[in-house]
């Protein structure tokens, strides 16, 4: 019992951060309101299918329902290679409640990571708690609720920077292993742009460190342990990287995005106002022509105050590097407002592979918090005489707040909150000017309390004031960007209403090819991603789509011709061009002209389903003569087919789907999706690497707990 008490007391600050996380994001904590947008129509259904496969004893290599068959393991954002998703899926299936607990976990990890990173720079626990809360509640976080990998990336970034900084200062094996784990989580669970941008930061930081410390003995050790870091990192992430690479030839964005495309959703310069008025930018304004996920950069007004104060000092070399990072990432996030994003697109590898420049503002936020922390720490500890400058900076902020408030006050027409009206309707009535005025008043109140605490000698209350400010403005932002007015339980009931496992009877339904799926996207999610009916889905949200499938969706004549065909069918006509399609019969478009004799053979007969699993489909056919059996599953080189256990070729037909030649008579036809052997080997290698790392840290822990006597 004493050991448990000691353990909890030694981690009381993390318990406090956990409490702050649960309070700041209380709608998720109590499951009162649901997540929305991409969280519902992309990340939840994908996790639902991953967990269902694992719960039924299958690895989620392939999913037959998503977009008429999708290699889940090759989707970089699906969650297949996310250890948290895999761990959760071992114990339960996904619904919105589970997804929201997962998101709360990432938010807590983000706060804990920033706490540790801030303390690493010799700041006090109090300063680290303020910094962690500011990061937890920053505008990037509250803007990103619907894009789970963005918040996941934000959770692991502080750990990457923490262990990288430790490795530079004191190269050791355990630090190298921790850095490799943090980098692995950032890549496999996050959004690619964050990993790419972070890697450039680490590379530049490493080079600068080497140049400035080239005479020191530790340089050789740093090279050694940096090499170990990269080796372990590659061993851990190899299954994910190889899975993504395996799909590259089919990838709809495989050749990189155009300059216009990568500028999509930049951070508007006018959104800099969010440093003072966080939620005002969530409303329409002529200077805010971008997505809601790209507008808020707030880090809390007190962090911003001490950041401005820090700029007046003489920073150490590491803070000069951080300041340069703040400037570069801020200019990058502005998109085409500066040439930085274009230069990176043209000259730096992998910078043409992602959109959303505004997402990079998370690096700006991390930098601002780290720069502000030492000045805040000095102020709270009274080690630095900063009172004069504080009065000056605070006065400047008050002038800015008052000026904006006065400017927008005549344009504001706040609704009557005393009316018994739907909260959503009241929020919708608020304009940019309304929120600017409302938040301006609240910020002035906080700043006034801050000044009062200084003048009256109540400085000990300032940390609580800063933390409360972050939480309050987090609460104000959530309804606009993070949560909907739908209850979590309603979404859970909606998901529970669909068929479970892999029912055979659904396969007999016709495959609808001409209707659009856009009408099925509701506040509850996308119906056709749950109902276990094989269908053509043209409401595409994942980038991991076979480019041939995109071409098929655009081919209206072919889609019309194939409309209402069953999942598996025998064709009676081979079509080599869509210019002249027959008026009747069942066709197959075969573009490999003259390759094999079987493509001109056709048959009739019966098809029934014997087994239907994520990675295996077994049919029983009775064919009148040799012919082609055609299946509505996307073509992928991982498919293998067998007729009575004898392998037969798999062709790409109908632009994006699969066909196999079958013999006359009654046969068992098996389709198996099998990833390349090098991916399976990589999985084993990765698991072995993680096991050895776990053993290493367990032995280290036991050694600390039971030191040997000299």
Specify whether 473 is located in the same domain as 595.
Answer: no
Give the structural domain span for 474: 2-30+95-481
Give the pLDDT score at 425: 66
CA 534, chain centre distance (Å): 27
Long-range (24+ apart) CB contacts under 8 A made by 185-188 are 185/83, 185/156, 185/159, 186/153, 186/156, 186/157, 186/160, 187/237, 187/240, 187/241, 188/81, 188/82, 188/83, 188/237, 188/240
Report pLDDT digits (tens) over 501-558. 888 766 777 887 765 554 456 778 888 888 888 888 887 888 788 888 988 988 888 8
Secondary structure (DSSP) of 574-632? EES-SSS--SSS-EEE--STTS-GGGG----EEEEEEEEETTEEEEEEEESSSEEEEEE
Answer yes or no: are the C-beta atoms of 650 and 197 closer than 8 Å. no
Phi, psi values for residue 283, rounded to 5°: -100, 160
Specify whether 469 is located in the same domain as 579.
Answer: no
User: Residue 605: exposed, middle, or buried by beta-carbon count in 10 A (0-12, 13-18, 19+)?
Assistant: middle
Q: What gap in Å lies between CA 573 and CA 161, rounded to an integer?
A: 61
Give the pLDDT score at 521: 62
Specify whether 516 is located in the same domain as 466.
Answer: no
Q: Is residue 487 part of a domain?
A: no
Report pLDDT digits (tens) over 388-443. 788 889 999 999 999 999 999 998 886 665 566 666 667 778 899 999 999 999 99
Specify whether 620 is located in the same domain as 543.
Answer: yes
Q: Of how many residues is the chain composed? A: 710
Q: Which of 626, 666, 627, 661 is nearest to 644 (CA)?
A: 666
pTM: 0.94
Report the domain count for the chain.
2
Report pLDDT digits (tens) over 305-335. 999 999 987 888 899 999 999 999 999 999 9
Residue 35 DSSP one-character state: B
Q: What gap in Å lies between CA 231 and CA 286, rounded to an integer?
A: 49
**Residue found by looking up tokens 């009065």 in the block:** 391
Specify whether 135 is located in the same domain as 190.
Answer: yes
Name the percent of the chain lying above pLDDT 70. Answer: 91
Q: What gap in Å lies between CA 278 and CA 271, rounded to an integer?
A: 9
Q: Is residue 223 part of a domain?
A: yes
Specify whether 326 is located in the same domain as 466.
Answer: yes
Q: Is residue 105 part of a domain?
A: yes
Give the pLDDT score at 641: 97
Specify whether 457 is located in the same domain as 586.
Answer: no
**What value does the CA radius of gyration of the chain take, rounded to a whole number of Å?**
28
Specify whether 332 is located in the same domain as 402.
Answer: yes
| Cα→Cα distances 99→60, 544, 551, 690, Å | 18, 21, 33, 25
Specify whether 249 is located in the same domain as 213.
Answer: yes
Report pLDDT digits (tens) over 590-623. 875 544 444 556 778 889 999 999 999 999 999 9
CA 584, chain centre distance (Å): 46
Q: Is residue 700 part of a domain?
A: no
Specify whether 286 is located in the same domain as 156.
Answer: yes
Q: What gap in Å lies between CA 79 and CA 85, rounded to an integer?
A: 6
Q: What gap in Å lies between CA 508 and CA 652, rounded to an integer?
A: 22
How many other C-beta atoms are found inside a 10 Å radius of the C-beta of residue 19? 11
Element housing 652 (H / E) = strand 651-653
Q: How confident is the model at residue 2 (pLDDT cuts 50, 70, 90)?
A: low
Q: Is the pLDDT of residue 46 over 70?
A: yes
Q: Is residue 90 part of a domain?
A: no
Give the pLDDT score at 179: 98
Element housing 318 (H / E) = helix 317-333
**Residue found by looking up tokens 């301006």 in the block:** 440
| Cα→Cα distances 164→124, 131, 175, 230, Å | 21, 19, 8, 12
Q: Which of 373, 363, 451 is nearest to 160 (CA)?
A: 363
Specify whether 433 is located in the same domain as 514.
Answer: no
Q: Is residue 243 part of a domain?
A: yes
């Amino acid at each position: 019992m004493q050991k448990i008490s000691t353990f909890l007391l030694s981690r009381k600050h993390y318990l406090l951060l956990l409490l702050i996380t649960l309070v700041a994001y209380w709608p998720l904590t109590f499951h009162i309101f649901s997540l929305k947008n991409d969280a519902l129509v992309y990340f939840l259904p994908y996790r639902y299918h991953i967990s269902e496969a694992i719960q039924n004893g299958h690895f989620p290599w392939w999913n037959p329902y998503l977009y008429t068959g999708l290699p889940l393991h090759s989707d970089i954002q699906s969650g297949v290679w996310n250890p948290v998703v895999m761990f959760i899926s071992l114990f339960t299936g996904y619904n919105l409640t589970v997804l929201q607990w997962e998101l709360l976990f990432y938010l807590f990890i983000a706060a804990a990571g920033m706490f540790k990173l801030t303390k690493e720079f010799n700041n006090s626990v109090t300063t680290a708690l303020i910094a962690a809360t500011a990061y937890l509640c920053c505008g990037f976080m509250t803007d990103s609720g619907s894009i789970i990998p963005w918040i996941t990336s934000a959770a692991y970034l502080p750990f990457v920077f923490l262990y990288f900084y430790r490795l530079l200062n004191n190269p050791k094996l355990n630090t190298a292993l921790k850095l490799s784990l943090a980098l692995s989580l950032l890549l496999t669970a996050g959004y690619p742009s964050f990993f790419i941008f972070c890697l450039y930061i680490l590379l530049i930081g490493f080079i600068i460190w080497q140049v400035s410390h080239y005479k020191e003995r530790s340089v050789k050790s740093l090279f050694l342990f940096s090499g170990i870091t990269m080796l372990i990192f590659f061993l851990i992430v190899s299954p994910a990287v190889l899975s993504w690479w395996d799909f590259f030839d089919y990838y709809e964005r495989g050749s990189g995005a155009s300059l216009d495309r990568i500028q999509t959703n930049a951070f508007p310069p006018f959104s800099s106002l969010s440093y003072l008025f966080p939620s005002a930018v969530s409303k329409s304004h002529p200077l805010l022509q971008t997505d809601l996920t790209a507008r808020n950069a707030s880090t809390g007004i007190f962090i911003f105050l001490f950041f401005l104060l820090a700029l007046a000092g003489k920073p150490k070399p590491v803070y000069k590097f951080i300041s340069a990072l703040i400037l570069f990432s801020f200019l990058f996030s502005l998109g085409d407002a500066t040439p930085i994003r274009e230069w990176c697109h043209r000259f730096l590898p992998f910078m043409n592979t992602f959109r959303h420049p505004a997402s990079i503002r998370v690096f700006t936020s991390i930098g601002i918090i780290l720069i502000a922390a030492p000045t805040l720490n000095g102020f709270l500890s009274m080690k630095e005489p900063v009172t004069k400058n504080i009065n000056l900076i605070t006065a400047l902020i008050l002038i800015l707040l008052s000026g904006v408030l006065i400017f927008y006050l005549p344009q504001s027409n706040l609704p009557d909150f005393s009316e018994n009206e739907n909260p959503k309707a009241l929020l919708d009535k608020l304009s940019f000017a309304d929120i600017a005025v409302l938040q301006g008043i609240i910020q002035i109140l906080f700043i006034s309390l801050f000044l009062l605490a200084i003048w009256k000698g109540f400085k000990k209350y300032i940390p609580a004031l800063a933390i409360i400010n972050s939480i309050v403005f987090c609460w104000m932002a959530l309804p606009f960007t993070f949560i909907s007015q739908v209850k979590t339980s309603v979404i859970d009931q909606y998901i529970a209403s669909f068929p479970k496992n892999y029912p055979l009877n659904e396969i007999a339904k016709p495959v609808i090819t001409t209707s659009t799926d856009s009408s099925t996207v509701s506040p509850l999610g996308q119906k056709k991603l749950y109902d276990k009916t094989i269908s053509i889905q043209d409401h595409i949200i994942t980038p991991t789509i076979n480019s041939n499938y995109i071409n098929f969706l655009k081919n209206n004549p072919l889609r019309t011709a194939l409309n209402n065909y069953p999942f598996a069918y025998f064709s009676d006509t081979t079509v080599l061009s869509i210019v002249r399609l027959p008026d009747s019969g069942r066709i197959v478009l075969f573009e490999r002209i003259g390759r094999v004799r079987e493509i001109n053979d056709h048959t009739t007969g019966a098809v029934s389903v014997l087994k239907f699993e994520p990675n295996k489909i077994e049919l029983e056919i009775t064919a009148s003569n040799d012919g082609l059996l055609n299946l509505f599953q996307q073509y992928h080189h991982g498919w293998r087919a067998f007729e009575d256990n004898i392998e037969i070729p798999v062709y790409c037909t109908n632009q994006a789907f699969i066909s196999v030649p079958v013999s006359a008579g009654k046969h068992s036809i098996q389709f198996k999706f099998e990833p390349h052997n090098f991916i399976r080997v990589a999985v084993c290698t990765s698991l072995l690497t993680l096991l050895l790392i776990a053993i290493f840290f367990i032995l280290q822990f036991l050694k600390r707990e039971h030191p040997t006597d000299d």
